Amino acid sequence: MLRWAPTSSSVWMQGNQKGYRIERFTIAREKEILKGPRKIQLTSTPLKPKPVEQWKSDAEVNKYSAIAAQAIYGSSFQVSMPQSNNLAEIANRSSEQEQRYSFALLAADHSFQTAKLSGLAFNDTTAKNGERYLYRVYVALQDAKLKFDTGNYYLGLQDSVGLTPPMNVTAQFADKIVLLKWPKSFAERQYTSFIIERSDEKDGHFIRRNNLPYLNTTSEGANELFFQALDSLPQNGVEYQYRIRGVTPFGEIGPESERVSGKGFQTLDAKASIIEAKEELGKVTIQWRILGNQNAIDGIYVERASNTNEPFVVLNAQKLNRESISYVDASPLSSNYYRVKTVGEHGQHSTSFPFFIQLIDSIPPAQPQGLKAVVDTTGIAKLSWTPNHEKDLIGYRLYRSNFLNAEFSQINASTTPSNTYSDSVNIKTLSTKIYYKVAAFDKRLNRSVFSQVVEAELPDVIPPQPPTIKEIRPDSTGILLAWNKSSSDDVASYQLQRKAADSARWKTIKVFNKKDSAFYLDLKLDRKRSYQYQVIAVDKKGLKSIPSNTVLGKALINVMMPPIKNLTAQVDREKKTITLHWKYNEKGVSKYLIYRAMNDELITLYRTVPGGSLSFEDVNVKMDTKYKYRIKCVFSDNSVSAFSPDNSVKF
């Protein structure tokens, strides 16, 4: 037996017009999956609702077929939408279509014969034992502009299981009425509606209470956890039994549920009204009067709460009798809300309006003890203290100050009941400490003595102020530096950094303690290069200042290299030349400067020869002339030697 339902009124109309096709695929045989599914078309022509004349005989005896036939073939029903632009007419047609669709599916869910006449059911009489099938149902000749889902189901004859009754049915009895409830999650998987039956304890014969199947048409939808049904009772005090049976979409009626029973009872028509509550010697006496039928009361309870937002607690473990009109609370709170509850024989009850009374209290809580405070690097101060134990305590208020002897300000907007608190503080300040204290308050707002002030050290997140280099002075031995120290009090050391002018990497060449002198003579350097210097201050937490101003310097080069000492001159009168020879062991000579004087003239620079030469031939000489020579060395780093001793020769 196959049943299906279109998912919307428009799909239902398409199915009514064009019909449904049913395909069957044989998937397995005798527990073996076939290599290829065997497809059979079960409907040679599309399955449509039966013509109206074929409905008549069944509709005369089956109210569901009458409903479905009216929904499908009713005289005012039109398939096409109106051609006019009248929105009201379009809306009316749409509403009518939705109602016809809903009632047609509802009727099909309660009669398999109605479903078959509606083209929404089919009997597959060719199914075989031992085979499993995949059935597909879809609207034939679908409109290409519309997309319809296909219905699928997989089963075999051997998969048949019996119906189960509705589970966990409960009944709540009241004054000539009963509320029946049973869970939806299980029952709605099998049943679309329910039959409710009742019997009394005298004859035990069950009578159906609903002529039509019961539908739970709540607005909660998927959020509703239970099916619920109300039934009226003929009289109170008589025990009635109920059972429930489900109706499937195939029109089958399932087995009966477990029976539930109970009796109706008269509503409690009695209520207490508190007329007075007064304190005497630390006790509170509550008095009330009863309004209504006092004989309907089974017992009286007195309840108390510290405020109306908290649960009320019953004060008397044993119920008071119906004649009671007062009760003494021997251990009242500082603030009390009382109410009186009257209870009936069957648990029904009513409560009076709350009555407030406050005890006289001028004693403040004890001074809070053990206050501690720790501030982390994010600026969150964690405070904790030993909790007070007063019964009327409502909480604590916290106070803060940046200075021990300055005024403290409250930091929590409302009283906190906990003995811990988190405060947010600004740690990017020059202050190094912060101070807290706490006070306890009771419900009368009596304040305790302030706790001892606790001091919390702020984490150091601010680097020190940078130092300033005030002098750089090169000399022949190195470069002398002097600087002004940082103005911050927490400086622990200074780092002197240097880098060559043509380099990008700074290197710390010396670390100075806070008390060390603020100058340094840099000796370990290359005299040929220029250097940059900067100084960084470091505080006790290791935070570094930004670098000081940067200065540039270079050591002076004024070292005189040794002179040439063994200069000789050789005269060759035939060639008319004077040749100079010398020896020199120093390295790095780039050139030699030859100086010459004739007779009594001043000696001046005469020639320059390469550094690799150790002789010079003077071809520009005259007879009967006296010549004087000396030589000076020039090195690749531009340093020079002293002059060699003079060498005079007569040509």
User: Average pLDDT, stretch 80-96?
Assistant: 55
Residues 213 and 253 in one domain: yes
Phi, psi of 287 (to 5 degrees): -125, 145
Q: CA neighbours within 13 Å on the CB side: how many for 397? A: 18
Residues 231 and 282 in one domain: no
Residues 155 and 6 in one domain: yes
Residues 192 and 218 in one domain: yes
How many other C-beta atoms lie within 10 A of the C-beta of residue 138? 17
Identify which of 195, 192, 181 has the alpha carbon closest to the alpha carbon of residue 225.
Answer: 181
Is there a contact between 134 and 25 (Cβ–Cβ < 8 Å)? yes
Q: 63 lies in which domain range?
A: 2-159
Q: Tell whether the torsion through CA atoms of 580, 586, 587 and 593 is positive or negative.
A: negative
Residue with tokens 């050391």: 493
Is the pLDDT at 41 greater than 80? The verdict is: yes
Is there a contact between 5 and 102 (Cβ–Cβ < 8 Å)? no
Is there a contact between 230 and 179 (Cβ–Cβ < 8 Å)? yes
Q: What is the pLDDT of residue 175?
A: 85
Residues 242 and 277 in one domain: no
Confidence of residue 94 (pLDDT cuts 50, 70, 90): low
Q: What is the pLDDT of residue 476?
A: 67
Is there a contact between 536 and 548 (Cβ–Cβ < 8 Å)? yes
Residues 102 and 13 in one domain: yes
Give me the percent of the chain exceeding a pLDDT of 70: 94
175-193 pLDDT, tens per residue? 889 999 999 887 888 888 8
600-640 pLDDT, tens per residue? 899 999 999 999 999 999 999 999 999 999 999 998 877 88
Q: Of 159, 189, 223, which residue constitutes the final position of a domain?
A: 159
User: Average pLDDT, stretch 448-460?
Assistant: 91
Identity of the amino acid at 362: S
User: Average pLDDT, stretch 510-538?
Assistant: 90
CATH of the domain at 523: 2.60.40.10
Residues 109 and 24 in one domain: yes
User: Average pLDDT, stretch 420-444?
Assistant: 89
Q: Is residue 348 part of a domain?
A: yes
Residues 26 and 138 in one domain: yes
Cα 373 to Cα 184, 381, 434, 450: the distances in Å are 56, 6, 9, 15
* Arithmetic mean of pLDDT over the chain: 88
Residues 241 and 275 in one domain: no
Structure tokens at 589: 């000579």
287-301 pLDDT, tens per residue? 999 998 888 888 999
Is the pLDDT at 458 greater than 90? The verdict is: no
Q: Is residue 165 part of a domain?
A: no
Pairwise CA distance, residues 376 & 457, whole Å: 9
Pairwise CA distance, residues 29 & 580, whole Å: 123
Structure tokens at 651: 């040509």
Residues 487 and 530 in one domain: yes
Length of the chain equals: 651
Q: What is the pLDDT of residue 618?
A: 93
User: Average pLDDT, stretch 76-90?
Assistant: 48
Q: What is the pLDDT of residue 615?
A: 94
Residue 589 CA to its chain's centroid (Å): 76
Q: What is the pLDDT of residue 626?
A: 94
Confidence of residue 497 (pLDDT cuts 50, 70, 90): very high
Q: What is the pLDDT of residue 78?
A: 44
Residues 290 and 233 in one domain: no
Q: Is residue 295 part of a domain?
A: yes
Q: Is residue 561 part of a domain?
A: no
Q: Which residues pair with 583 in a beta bridge?
A: none
Is there a contact between 589 and 611 (Cβ–Cβ < 8 Å)? yes
- Domain total for the chain? 6
Q: Is residue 221 part of a domain?
A: yes
Residues 174 and 136 in one domain: no
Confidence of residue 88 (pLDDT cuts 50, 70, 90): low
Q: Is residue 352 part of a domain?
A: yes
Q: Which of 156-165, 271-280, 455-464, 633-642 has the highest mean pLDDT?
A: 271-280
User: Average pLDDT, stretch 260-264?
Assistant: 89
Residue 81 or 644, more confident = 644
**Could you say which DSSP state residue 334 is in?**
S
Three-class secondary structure of residue 607 per DSSP: strand
Give me the percent of the chain exceeding a pLDDT of 90: 51
Pairwise CA distance, residues 394 & 364, whole Å: 11
Q: What is the pLDDT of residue 221?
A: 55
185-217 pLDDT, tens per residue? 878 888 888 999 999 867 678 888 888 778 766
How many other C-beta atoms lie within 10 A of the C-beta of residue 596? 20
Identify which of 558, 512, 501 has the alpha carbon closest to the alpha carbon of residue 535.
Answer: 512
* DSSP line for 348-373: -EEEPPPEEEE----PPPPPPEEEEE
112-170 pLDDT, tens per residue? 999 999 999 999 999 999 899 999 999 987 666 666 678 898 888 888 778 889 999 99
Q: Is residue 385 part of a domain?
A: yes
Q: What is the pLDDT of residue 598?
A: 93
Q: Of 457, 478, 507, which residue constitutes the final position of a domain?
A: 457
Identify which of 287, 274, 271 has the alpha carbon closest to the alpha carbon of residue 350.
Answer: 271
Is the pLDDT at 79 greater than 60? The verdict is: no
Q: Is residue 164 part of a domain?
A: no
Is the pLDDT at 304 greater than 80? The verdict is: yes
Q: Reading across the β-sheet that carries 226-232, which strands appear in turn? A: 170-174, 177-183, 226-232
Q: Of 263, 296, 321, which residue constitutes the final position of a domain?
A: 263
Is there a contact between 539 and 464 (Cβ–Cβ < 8 Å)? yes
Confidence of residue 344 (pLDDT cuts 50, 70, 90): confident
Q: What is the pLDDT of residue 83?
A: 52
